[in-house]
Structure 1
Amino acid sequence: MEIANAIASHLLIETSDVFRVKIIPPGWIHLELAHLALAAWLKKLVSLGEEKGGTNKESVLVSEYRDVQLSSSLFPIQYAHARCCSLMRLVQQEELFISTNVIPWLDTQQKLRFNHPAEFRLMNELVKVMDELECSSTEAGVKWEKAALSLSQAFESFWCNCRIWGEVKTTSPELAQVRHGLIVATQWVLKFMLEDKLSAFAPSEL
């Protein structure tokens, strides 16, 4: 415990804005990403999604896969992607939000605005997938279909429990914007996994 406390003290000095550190007997050091760091990561991911979400590659893939049936094993992933695209179009048509660059991820207490477990689950799945994309040294060791399916399931749970219209839009506009940001991030990650990792069509509608 003495050694663990010494290490934790050093970590808090160096990375207090990134990690929360907790010591668990007999000397385990638990690191938890701070909400401020997660908000910065989500902002970067959404910006990346907007930048790369609609590339020239999309038109090529639409032509290439136009006559190909949707894969039965990948259909839940493709459906989740199409649902994301549909929601994003609806947001744009109704001009609900001005820009994703100013999404208020944090509240006045510097905590993420999430208030439902499904929001945290979706964020956790996004983190796991992006970790695999960034850190995997070999394609053989990653089960991309399983990872994409887990992400699509987390998105479906999120959308069933966390809406952005109606009462939420009226009474909690900041929460609605945060949820919209999660949709934008999920759409891009699903699109990337379908096209680049699974060699499948990422439909914008079904």
Structure 2
Amino acid sequence: MSSADYLTTKQVLLPHLQVALNLYLLSYKLTLQPQLNVSWCQKKDGEFTYVWAIALQLSTAQKIPAIQIATKIIGMINTQAIADDIRQKLATENLACSTLIAIRATPSGLIYLELTDCAIAAWLQYSIANPPKIEKYCLQKNKTLLPFILQYTHARCYSVLQLAAREGIIPPVLTSISFLDSQQQLLCRHAAEQALIKQLLVTSDNLYAPNAHLKPHWQKIAVALCQSWQTFYAYCQIWGEVKRNNLDLARVRLGLTLLTQRLLAVLLNDKLGIYAPTEL
């Protein structure tokens, strides 16, 4: 599948980071060609934050403190242009938020690029409306050495969505969900929900915006997504009281289930070469 068919937050960010890097190199008349890559912050307080270590790379070559380089590069990143790109490329509805990304440097010189709730909601809504395509559907129902959790989770997600459609909570073909509340904050605030969203972002980046110098371990990525959804489903109720009293939240959780099922289908079919079952 071509990366042009499906966008990730990383794909939106990278061109703007490249512009800032080019400006910095030009300003110092440097002929270096450092690798342009960002990774997800693993800290608990940075759930939706990318880390860019470019200043550390340049510090070695320039023999100046990384924090000094990071500060200058941050001044060259056009956050308004990034926000406009998020609105144009990802948002399927108007975003009332004025801030979509916050950027800061750590004392060590790492650059943190934090996506706000509105930016995350834009990507989630985009992903609901624009499902990733599967290149090759596999009919091989069993494959040795693959964990059972992979096919089980795909089938479980599918059955949850089918039940929700039969009960009228969501339409049979789901194309739109509002992930923000009236205060423009994500409706999904539970730690398990946030962890699943993070894993969905990580998975989509690995699929459609991978690091050119690292080969993804697809089985490990798929298992991590399955485990995140299993934890989410154990702690984040959809039925019962939530369905009765907070239908918007129930629909948001079903949206996260749909995105999990879709990405798992791509991983199973295209990357692991195995059938993605709808029932077991």
Normalising by the smaller structure, the TM-score range is 0.7 to 0.9
2:161 is aligned with 1:88: yes
* Alpha-carbon distance between aligned partners in 1 of 2:121 and 2:185, rounded to the nearest angstrom: 9
Q: How does 1:1-206 map to 2 (within 5 A)?
A: 4-11=70-77, 12-15=79-82, 17-49=99-131, 52=133, 61=138, 64-65=139-140, 68-69=141-142, 71=144, 73-98=146-171, 100-136=174-210, 141-206=215-280
* Alpha-carbon distance between aligned partners in 2 of 1:92 and 1:180, rounded to the nearest angstrom: 10
User: C-alpha displacement at 1:121, in angstroms?
Assistant: 1.0
Query: CA, structure 1 residues 72+109, in 2 after alignment: closer, same or farther (shift >3 Å)?
Result: same
* Alpha-carbon distance between aligned partners in 1 of 2:68 and 2:271, rounded to the nearest angstrom: 45
Equivalenced residue count is 197
Larger C-alpha radius of gyration, 1 or 2?
Answer: 2
Secondary structure of the residue aligned to 2:175 is helix
Conservation of the 8 A alpha-carbon contact between 2:195 and 2:228: yes
The C-alpha deviation readout for 1:10-53, integer Å capped at 9, x for no partner, is: 5344435431123332543211112212111111212233x758
Unmatched segments (≥5 aa) in structure 2 = 1-66, 84-98
Conservation of the 8 A alpha-carbon contact between 1:19 and 1:32: yes
* Alpha-carbon distance between aligned partners in 2 of 1:187 and 1:139, rounded to the nearest angstrom: 28
Conservation of the 8 A alpha-carbon contact between 1:70 and 1:201: no
TM-score (normalised: structure 2): 0.62
Secondary structure of the residue aligned to 1:21 is strand
Query: CA, structure 1 residues 80+139, in 2 after alignment: closer, same or farther (shift >3 Å)?
Result: farther
Conservation of the 8 A alpha-carbon contact between 2:196 and 2:228: yes
CA RMSD of aligned residues (A): 2.7
Paired-residue identity, %: 35
Unmatched segments (≥5 aa) in structure 1 = none
Secondary structure of the residue aligned to 2:102 is strand
